[in-house]
């Protein structure tokens, strides 16, 4: 009898572990001062299609900018939200997603002290539901 109840408990535990509580929200980003997630870090889920200023301590001081694995991409900007872009070469280095090779070391592209704001969007080339 002891074996049976232990087995039932184990089964119940594995069923509970396999049941997703809720789908993870899209828009999570890990932002850290240093490369390879060093220094202070923050991980939050940011609303899409909205500009977010980097918060104090991370503005112009983030070498790690790593979006979660869902199908979305972010454009980091050199100026705060609503700022005027005066650079002829553009004020973002382009779309950053989970797949971006330098997300854990923006020094590699010289952007470790430049991100002032960012805005994220769903990756519209991915059919909703396929990823994540
Ligand atoms: C991390 O942030 C805290 C609070 O803002 C600050 O006191 C601390 O010095 C920071 N640490 C580093 C390594 O920047
Ligand atoms: C930038 O981040 C480093 C490492 O966490 C920290 O020591 C420094 O105080 C930060 N600088 C600013 C201006 O926030
Ligand atoms: C971002 O910062 C800029 C400049 O400090 C400010 O004018 C703007 O209202 C802020 N925008 C948001 C969405 O926080
Ligand atoms: C968007 O999704 C497409 C198709 O999966 C992929 O090829 C592309 O790299 C993605 N864009 C980014 C910035 O990750
Ligand atoms: C980040 O990239 C810079 C420039 O390529 C390199 O010097 C540095 O060693 C790298 N840091 C880490 C932690 O990989």
Q: Which residues line ligand 5 (CB under 6 A)?
A: 35-36, 105, 107-108
Q: Mean pLDDT, 10 residues at a time, over the chain (132 residues)?
A: 48 47 84 98 98 97 98 96 85 96 97 97 74 44
**72 DSSP β-pair partners:** 122
Give nearest CA residue, ligand 4 atom 10.
123
pLDDT at 120: 98
* Structure tokens belonging to residue 123: 């990756």
Query: If we measure between CA atoms, which residue out of 78, 26, 84, 20 comes closest to residue 54?
Result: 78
- Beta strand pairing call for 28-32 and 64-67: antiparallel
pLDDT at 127: 60
Give the span between the Cα atoms of 51 and 82, in whole angstroms: 8
Is residue 14 classed as helix, strand or coil in its secondary structure?
helix
Number of Cβ within 10 Å of residue 33's Cβ equals 18
* Tokens 């202070």 sit on residue: 40
The atom number, within ligand 2, closest to the CA of 58 reads 14
> In the 8-state DSSP scheme, what is residue 108?
G
Give nearest CA residue, ligand 2 atom 5.
39
For the chain, domains (ranges, CATH) are 28-123 (2.60.20.10)
Please state the pTM of the whole predicted model: 0.83
pLDDT at 93: 93
pLDDT at 87: 80
Let me know: does 81 contact 51? Beta carbons within 8 Å. Answer: yes
In angstroms, the Cα distances linking 98 to 27, 89, 107 are 11, 24, 17
Distance of CA 32 to the CA centre of its chain: 11
* Structure tokens belonging to residue 83: 């700022």
């Amino acid at each position: 009898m002891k074996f049976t109840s232990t087995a039932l408990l184990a089964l119940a535990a594995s069923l509970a572990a396999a049941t997703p509580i809720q789908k993870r929200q899209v828009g999570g980003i890990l932002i850290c001062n240093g490369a390879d997630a060093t220094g202070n870090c923050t991980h939050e889920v940011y609303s899409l299609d909205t500009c977010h200023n980097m918060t104090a301590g991370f503005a112009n001081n983030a070498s790690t900018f790593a979006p979660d694995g869902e199908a979305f991409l972010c454009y980091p900007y050199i100026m705060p939200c609503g700022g005027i872009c005066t650079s002829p070469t553009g004020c973002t280095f382009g779309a950053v997603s989970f797949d971006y090779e330098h997300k854990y070391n923006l020094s590699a592209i010289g952007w470790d002290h430049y991100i002032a704001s960012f805005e994220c969007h769903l990756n519209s080339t991915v059919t909703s539901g396929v990823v994540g």
